[in-house]
Amino acid sequence: MDNKKNGQRCSPSRLQACRPGTRRLVQLYSALLHNAYLKGFITGDIYKGNGKFLCAPGFNCYSCPGAVSACPLGAVQNALASADHRAGWYVLGIILLYGVMLGRTVCGWLCPLGLIQEVLNRIPALKVKKSFITRTLTWLKYVLLAVFVVTVPLWYSLLNGLPLPAFCKYICPAGTLEGAVGLLSNPVNAPKFSMLGILFTRKFIIMLVIGLLCVFCYRAFCRFLCPLGAIYGLFNRFSVVGVRVDEERCTHCGACVRGCGMDVRRVGDHECINCGKCMDSCKEGAISLKAGKIVLKGPEGNAEGAAGAPEKRRRAGRMAWAAALAVMGAVLLWVNVLEPQAVEGTWSEKAPPSAETAAPAQPEEAARAEVPAAVSFESDAPEGHEVGQKLQDFAVTCYDGSEYRLSEQRGRITFINFWATYCTPCIQELPHFDALYKAHKGDISMIAIHSRFVTKDPVEFLAGRGFTLPFATDSEGGVIGLAGGSGTLPQTIVLNRRGEVVYNKAGSVTPELLEALYQEADRAP
């Protein structure tokens, strides 16, 4: 046999010992369940289904091509950024639920980033031993939690009225590896390399440094930097699921702490990830992984754990894995094949906005200027979203109740902006579009289309801001997808008077660039 464990060749008699343990299988299962949208790795796009409204328990980037749910840490930051007008009760509730039920068991068994760190640590190299220094550094994650997850997003939102998920934007290695690298590694997204700047370079270096640290230091990110682990650690001592010590059996020899890769001072404290490795080092069989009073995993020789009804426990284990595989199959089938790629729950599927909450009505003469009848603006170009192609016709309902139909805009230079309330660069550039719209009133057609993924009501957000350009939410047919867009925002498309694409790129724009694009489209034949 060529299977190996710890560098040794496995004979048939040792095959059982060489197989992945229960925890490793659960970690692999969880990583796949977190990233069940396998089609995203092929198409180079992210999942936009209903699952993105849910927070996963583990640290997994929202922008990973396979991610089918939201990252709880990112959700916390966005909730704080919206705290000036809306309390994030859902996010607070889901974090409390995960914490009370699982604590840092999420870190040890369910977190995809934790699995990546453990794989990196298996690379042969000198390993950093636990010491006073490593134990002191574990408090750094609480500093990051207080500053980058709580203080900066809340302060920036209250001061500027804009969202700023500071940890995600400036530090998060999962966002860089799973989101940016995961998307950019697909050839389909090669044009997006032009969007990269110094911020990506800094985050890429941070990711490499953290990855290198994980080679030499067991779970370096978990131990020193992870704010999500810091949150879950606060619940560890009283969570339903966790590692528990039988005080009657324990001799306080300290073998469990000495053999632990984390910086624990005692089993089950805020640094314990409840992985259960300490069970192997306890000669008294005093440690078990429990859910309340139910033993989930016990040491060999522990009458309460392994010896009491072994056949019953094996049968229960097989049934649990059968149920888990059935759930996995259902999730894979739904998100990759059956579910429509459109996020429900936007304002357009509710009652029309009231006069008190609707955005200002668009000036009729600007939005519906007459097209000169003496000139033909028909185009023979093939339909598509690339430069030189004619963008396919679409229709959306604007927030003032009017309909915007692309085919009716022929004869004008058309600007289409894809944006979202959770996208800070999008919000910052909206005044530039509005200024251009006013400067060329009657000769320009413009529509700002919000992503169908809504975290903050765009109608409420726009009220009182004084914009005159039309706004709408993406249609069920998916205008963003039709125009070659993805989850990367903002995105701007410019069409000449014949409806042909002159410009189509993701990334921020400046007033100077917008004016230059207007002039370029005006010169187009």
Nearest to 61 by CA among 34, 43, 82: 34
Place of tokens 């001799």: 251
Report pLDDT digits (tens) over 332-374. Answer: 999 999 886 544 333 333 333 333 334 444 444 444 444 444 4
Q: Specify the CATH number for the domain of residue 390.
A: 3.40.30.10
Amino acid at 376: S
Within a domain: 74: yes
Do 217 and 358 have their domain in common? no
Number of structural domains in the chain: 2
Last residue of a domain, one of 219, 236, 253: 236
| Whole-number pLDDT of residue 511 | 93
Contact criterion met (CB below 8 Å) for 123 and 215: yes
Amino acid at 198: I
Contact criterion met (CB below 8 Å) for 145 and 233: no
Within a domain: 483: yes
| Whole-number pLDDT of residue 234 | 95
CA distances from 283 to 122, 255, 384 (A): 26, 9, 69
Within a domain: 332: no
Write down the H helix ranges in 107-148: 112-121, 132-137, 140-144
In the predicted structure, residue 28 carries a pLDDT above the cut 90? yes
| Whole-number pLDDT of residue 355 | 35
pLDDT band at 87 (very low <50, low <70, confident <90, very high): low
Do 228 and 372 have their domain in common? no
In the predicted structure, residue 240 carries a pLDDT above the cut 70? yes
| Whole-number pLDDT of residue 371 | 46
Do 351 and 232 have their domain in common? no
| Whole-number pLDDT of residue 454 | 74
Give the end-to-end CA distance of the chain in Å, rounded to a whole number: 70
Within a domain: 508: yes
> Which residues constitute the domain of residue 57?
22-236
| Whole-number pLDDT of residue 434 | 95
pLDDT band at 84 (very low <50, low <70, confident <90, very high): low
Of the listed ranges 138-142, 309-313, 431-435, 478-482, the one predicted with least confidence: 309-313
Report pLDDT digits (tens) over 415-437. Answer: 999 998 888 889 999 999 999 99
Last residue of a domain, one of 190, 215, 236: 236
> Cβ contacts of residue 212 below 8 Å, gap of 6+?
none
> Cβ contacts of residue 295 below 8 Å, gap of 6+?
288, 289, 304, 305
Within a domain: 336: no
Q: Which residues pair with 495 in a beta bridge?
A: 414, 501
Within a domain: 241: no
Within a domain: 312: no
| Whole-number pLDDT of residue 81 | 74
Question: How far apart (Å, rounded) are the C-alpha atoms in residues 46 and 365?
Answer: 39
Report pLDDT digits (tens) over 161-189. Answer: 777 889 999 999 999 999 889 988 988 88
Question: How far apart (Å, rounded) are the C-alpha atoms in residues 429 and 426?
Answer: 5
Contact criterion met (CB below 8 Å) for 361 and 471: no
Of the listed ranges 201-215, 305-319, 349-363, the one predicted with least confidence: 349-363
Within a domain: 255: no
| Whole-number pLDDT of residue 51 | 83
Last residue of a domain, one of 220, 236, 252: 236
Do 387 and 512 have their domain in common? yes
Coil, helix or strand for 482? Answer: helix
Question: How far apart (Å, rounded) are the C-alpha atoms in residues 47 and 39?
Answer: 9
Q: Which two tokens stand for residue 498?
A: 């014949």
> Cβ contacts of residue 19 below 8 Å, gap of 6+?
none
In the predicted structure, residue 131 carries a pLDDT above the cut 90? yes
Half-sphere exposure in the Cβ direction for 364 (13 Å, CA): 1
